[in-house]
Every structure is written in C-alpha cells, then in structure tokens.
Amino acid sequence: MVQVVATLDFDEQDGQTRLDPDEKAGLIPDYLETRGQLNDWEQENILQATRWLSRLRAPDVLSEGFCRLLHQRMFDETWAWAGTFRKSDKNIGADWRQIATRLNQLLGNVRHQVDSMAFPPDELVARFHRDLVWLHPFPNGNGRHSRMMADALLTQMGGRPFSWGRGATAVGASELRAQYLAALRAADDNDFAALLAFVRS
C-alpha cells in the first residue's frame, strides 16, 4: 500500500480536494499506478452505486444516514474511508469538527424547503447541491456524491434527474468541468443562473 501511495499521482485538478497522507493510505486497490486507472476504478464503483440506488424504494434522501451510505456505496471498493466524514480541514468546506451538525442543519432546511416549496424544484435542488458541495463532508468525491444526492432528491420529488452538461455537444470534458466549476463559484455569490442552466444542459 505504501508503494502505491508513493507512485500514484495524486496531484489534484482544479476544483479537486487535496488528500492528506492518511486519506491517500486509504486507497483499497493496491495495483493502480496512474490517475487514469484510479478514475476508471472510481467510475466503475460509482456505476455500481447508481444501480444500487435505482433499486431502492423511497429512500430517506434528506437524512445523514442516507448521505453517508450513498458515499460509502459510491467508493466502498476504492477508499477505506468511504462514507466517513473527513477528519481534517480542506481548502473548502466547514470546519471538519462541525460537519455532522452543519450537514443535519442543511438537510433539515432542505426538508422544510421541500415541504413549503420555497423554490421551484430545479432551483431548490440546485441550491441543495451547491450547499452540499460547499460543506464538503468527505475527504474526496464530494462533487460526484452531491450530484447523485441531488438527482435522488429530484427523483423523490417526482422530477427528472439533472443532465449535468451531458447534453452539450462538441464540448470536451475539461471545458465541461470548467463550466461546472464556474457555475458553482457564481452560486457561491448567490447567482444561480449559470448553475440552473448547466444542470439541464
């Protein structure tokens, strides 16, 4: 395991969270040598979680238990800490010691917003997605996890999951990622127009 951690390139791309040494040591497959292999492995793990989620009947999406279980199912064959809140501060997010409290506040607020229909469904869920990304509960995988959380909530509300830019034509993955991050940063300043356009593009 130590050899893998030393040789695998963990340099983060724009918008990715840096892993600390303990988090890097949590990598489960001991034969991955490149970032591309890690990405492919994670993607397969996430596809398994997507299939699992599609079989669930009426999950309690707005609960800490579901939030953690979904992250665990998404990364349980990749990271030993899957489904476990981070134990260090990052360049984004709440103080790690406040994650459980802040997450439960967020989930309670969103539950109230759903009950009162405080926003149109797409906007409500896009705001939830942004807030969950910002909270950054886990060491890694927060963007992918919060997108799946958003889609699960939309489905629970009777809506269609977001397309997350998959409908864009002639746009490369790096450009799509740049658009997504720019939309999230605008939402940080309470401007949700770009994010609302992106999630349905």
pLDDT of amino acid 6: 41
Residues in the chain, pLDDT under 50: 1-6
pLDDT of amino acid 167: 75
What is the pTM for the complete model shown? 0.91
pLDDT of amino acid 17: 74
Class of 2-162 in CATH: mainly alpha
Alpha-carbon distance 9 to 35, whole Å?
6
Q: Which residues contact 99 (CB under 8 A, 6 or more apart)?
A: 85, 86, 93, 135, 137
Nearest to 46 by CA among 35, 56, 34, 54: 54
Alpha-carbon distance 133 to 146, whole Å?
6
The domain limits of the chain are: 2-162
| Structure-block tokens of residue 8 | 């695998």
Q: Torsion over CA of 159, 99, 109 and 179, rounded to 10 degrees?
A: -50
DSSP summary character for residue 98 = G
